[in-house]
Amino acid sequence: MKVPLWRVAFARSGDKGDTVNVGLIAFTTSLYPVLTELVTADKVKQHFKGICRGSVDRYELPNLCALNFLLHESLGGGGTVSLMLDAQGKTFSAALLRMEVDVAEDLVREADEVSGWSERLE
Amino acid sequence: MRVASGQGFWGDWQEAPKLQVRRGPIEYLMLDYLAEITMSILEKQRERDPAAGYARDFVDLVLDLAPDLVSKGIRVVSNAGGVNPDACRDALVQRLTDVDTVRPLRIATVRGDDLMSRLDEVLAAGHELRNMETGEPLSTVRERVTAANAYMGAGPILEALRQEADVVVTGRSTDTALTYAPLIHEFGWEADDWNRIAAGVVAGHINECGAQACGGNTLFRWREVDLVEPGYPIIEASADGSFVVTKHASLGGRVNWASVTEQLVYEMGDPTEYITPDCVADFSTIQLEDLGGDRVRVTGVEGRPRPELLKVSIAYRGGYKATGMLTYSYPDAYEKAVAADRVLRGRLDRLGLEFDEIRTEYVGAGACHGPLAGSPDPSVPEVELRISVRGDDRARVERFTRELAPLILAGPPTVTGFAAGRPRVHEVMAYWPALIEREVVESVVRVEVTEA
């Protein structure tokens, strides 16, 4: 089923100069290989079109069920040079979670139990 | 062995370190005050006043905590010294005379990270301090440099602890060292015990952002976390390098696999290459086990030998900037804000004011997520126009700040939000990361202990 990434993962982002890092964490271990296949560096670069002007690197952390993305040239120069409201890239995590992904329904239901989404639907 | 985190940055919650000391047992309290840009702010303060240039809040905090530190045997490790650790120590010594403790406090200062006072000498000796991102030598911006500090590792903190310091005040220390130096000291780890030191680095990374490891700024089930009085992280370390992340039970917040994982990936680069002055930690080797009850065990961390070079953080003057904001209300809030932006830019053009950059954002209509937020909702209750400029000429930036208020009477309708007055002009401090041979720094590092 097609769902926004926030149904199956959570994230935190931060800055290093003009680069944003977004750590994407799967809600369940069974979702990690699925996300690894679906959320590629190319897909993330395309998602942040018009926002990320440089390249995107991806690092895998199977031990934490997490992927780490580095979005280069994304903060208008970074630090105090930047004129952006979000000069430290704090909200890029939520921006990545807007991405739409196609995930097997049973895996989404499992994630809903962990994230608390199923309780909120009741 | 418990190392508690009490501050994640300068300006963090003042109650946190007091709660760490008073709500349960700890042996060490680490306080991180220095972000990349903090040193240049402190350097500016020292230019105006030779007795300034450190985190003043820290002095008030130590005065408040002094009796507890002595009676409970808690030691404080902090980088609050900023660009002037000696002045920080002097302020502590002077004000501690009025505080009743059963024995004097031993205060250690660590100096040697400051390269600013001998920058020309260092450059003349052939250290080019090339920008790690652009490769340019520092000589291209030398005249504009305001602060240059090397990141020191555990060495000087260990020396201070060996000299039985109760309070260690450093300048630019690696944030993580404020946590792992006490571990090396207590457990007697060898300097080349890379795996254990790397475990200490991971512990330091969890501690260095305060509540962020304990449910603060955490997306996972965020509605369920009580953050009124959050616990800050406490590392319960073992001699083998494994540790448990926890918090005081009587405080709020939450420690679980999700809160710790979110903090582990925060500000991460290549996870297999987390470089510190004392080892290179591999975050892909970390194993987490959620024990329940706000306890997460961390094991399996592996590390590699320390790098030959130390990182240097340099700040230089990068021009001026200002940001103005006005709020437009329903109906057609976004359209009105766009019209106001057009009017303002037209006036700047007619004045012949040019800038390196002008940026307009619409708060409430995609300022954070840009095109990902979709097209603005025409029924949005209000939109804040946020317009910023940056340029080398202070007078031009100043002139820009006078063009905001006229939009109230001579701009689009239903505008408000100008009560704060004309925007302030800020000097931009640009960041220049570089590397330097360890010897250049380590040969001048000094540790001094004073009783107060």
- Indicate whether B243 and B347 sit together in one domain: no
- Indicate whether B323 and B271 sit together in one domain: no
Distance of alpha carbon A67 from alpha carbon A60, whole angstroms:
5
- Name every residue whose Cβ is closer than 8 Å to that of residue B298 and which is 6 or more positions away in sequence: B199, B202, B203, B206, B242, B243, B244, B245, B260, B286, B287, B288
- Indicate whether B341 and B263 sit together in one domain: no
Residues of A in contact with B288 (CB under 8 A): 63-64
For A47-101, what is each residue's pLDDT tens digit?
999 999 999 999 999 999 999 999 999 999 988 899 999 999 999 999 999 999 9
Element (H, E) at B382: strand B382-391
| Residue to substitute from A7, A64, A72, interface B, most B β-carbons within 10 A | A64
- Indicate whether B270 and B354 sit together in one domain: no
Distance of alpha carbon B278 from alpha carbon B285, whole angstroms:
18
Tell me, yes or no, whether A122 lies in a domain.
Answer: no
Residues of A in contact with B429 (CB under 8 A): 79-80
- Give me the CATH number covering residue B420: 3.30.70
Nearest to A23 among B37, B265, B361 (CB): B265
Tell me, yes or no, whether B444 lies in a domain.
Answer: no
- Indicate whether B299 and B404 sit together in one domain: no
- Indicate whether B340 and B219 sit together in one domain: no
Residues of B in contact with A11 (CB under 8 A): 219, 262
- Burial degree of B395 (CB within 10 A; 0-12, 13-18, 19+): exposed
pLDDT tens, residue order, chain B (452 aa): 999 999 999 999 999 999 999 999 999 999 999 987 788 889 889 989 999 999 999 999 999 999 999 999 999 999 999 999 999 999 999 999 888 888 999 999 999 999 998 999 999 999 999 999 899 999 999 999 999 999 999 999 999 999 999 999 999 999 999 999 999 999 999 999 999 999 999 999 999 999 999 999 999 999 999 999 999 999 999 999 999 999 999 999 999 999 999 999 999 999 999 999 999 999 999 999 999 999 999 999 999 999 999 999 999 999 999 999 999 999 999 999 999 999 999 999 999 999 999 999 999 999 999 999 999 988 999 999 999 999 999 999 999 999 999 999 999 999 999 877 899 999 999 999 999 999 999 999 999 999 98
User: How many angstroms separate the CA of residue B102 from the nearest CA in chain A?
Assistant: 44
Pairwise CB contact (< 8 Å): B386 & A21? no
Tell me, yes or no, whether A15 lies in a domain.
Answer: yes
Pairwise CB contact (< 8 Å): A23 & B266? yes
Tell me, yes or no, whether B92 lies in a domain.
Answer: yes
Final residue of a structural domain among B254, B278, B307: B307
Pairwise CB contact (< 8 Å): B219 & A16? no
- Indicate whether B292 and B332 sit together in one domain: no
- Tally of structural domains, chain B: 2
Distance of alpha carbon B283 from alpha carbon B272, whole angstroms:
6
As given in the structure block, the two tokens for residue B403 are 């063009």
Q: How many alpha carbons lie under 13 Å from residue A6 in its C-beta half-sphere? A: 13
For B142-166, what is each residue's pLDDT tens digit?
999 999 999 999 999 999 999 999 9
**Residue labelled with tokens 């290549």:** B270
For B100-136, what is each residue's pLDDT tens digit?
888 999 999 999 999 998 999 999 999 999 999 899 9
Tell me, yes or no, whether A75 lies in a domain.
Answer: yes
Pairwise CB contact (< 8 Å): B431 & A79? yes
- Tally of structural domains, chain A: 1
Q: How many alpha carbons lie under 13 Å from residue B159 in its C-beta half-sphere? A: 16
Please provide residue B14's backbone torsions phi and psi, each rounded to the nearest 5 degrees.
Answer: -70, -25
For B7-27, what is each residue's pLDDT tens digit?
999 999 999 999 999 999 999
For B239-249, what is each residue's pLDDT tens digit?
999 999 999 99
Distance of alpha carbon B3 from alpha carbon B204, whole angstroms:
9
Tell me, yes or no, whether B66 lies in a domain.
Answer: yes
Tell me, yes or no, whether B446 lies in a domain.
Answer: no
User: How many angstroms separate the CA of residue B73 from the nearest CA in chain A?
Assistant: 36
For A84-93, what is each residue's pLDDT tens digit?
999 999 999 9
Buried b (16+ CB within 10 A) or exposed e, A7-43: bbbbbbbbbbbbbbbbbbbbbbeebbebbbebbebee
Tell me, yes or no, whether B427 lies in a domain.
Answer: yes
Supply the pTM of this predicted model. 0.97
Pairwise CB contact (< 8 Å): B372 & A47? yes
For B256-283, what is each residue's pLDDT tens digit?
999 999 999 999 999 999 999 999 999 9
Tell me, yes or no, whether B301 lies in a domain.
Answer: yes
Pairwise CB contact (< 8 Å): B428 & A81? yes
Do B310 and B173 form a contact (C-beta atoms < 8 A)? no
User: How many angstroms separate the CA of residue B359 from the nearest CA in chain A?
Assistant: 7
Of A83, A67, A96, A70, whose CA–CA distance to B369 is shortest? Answer: A96
Final residue of a structural domain among B307, B335, B370: B307
User: How many angstroms separate the CA of residue A11 from the nearest CA in chain B?
Assistant: 7
Distance of alpha carbon B137 from alpha carbon B377, whole angstroms:
48
- Indicate whether B277 and B399 sit together in one domain: no
Q: How far is residue A19 CA from its own chain's centroid?
A: 15
Segments forming the whole domain that contains residue A67: 2-114
Pairwise CB contact (< 8 Å): B371 & A85? no
Residue B118 has a pLDDT of 95
Tell me, yes or no, whether B200 lies in a domain.
Answer: yes
Pairwise CB contact (< 8 Å): B217 & A17? no
| Residue to substitute from A18, A83, A84, interface B, most B β-carbons within 10 A | A83
- Indicate whether B397 and B361 sit together in one domain: yes
Residue B39 has a pLDDT of 86
Segments forming the whole domain that contains residue B177: 2-113+151-307
Pairwise CB contact (< 8 Å): A59 & B270? yes
Please provide residue A6's backbone torsions phi and psi, each rounded to the nearest 5 degrees.
Answer: -65, -15
User: How many angstroms separate the CA of residue A21 from the nearest CA in chain B?
Assistant: 6
Q: How many alpha carbons lie under 13 Å from residue B269 in its C-beta half-sphere? A: 11
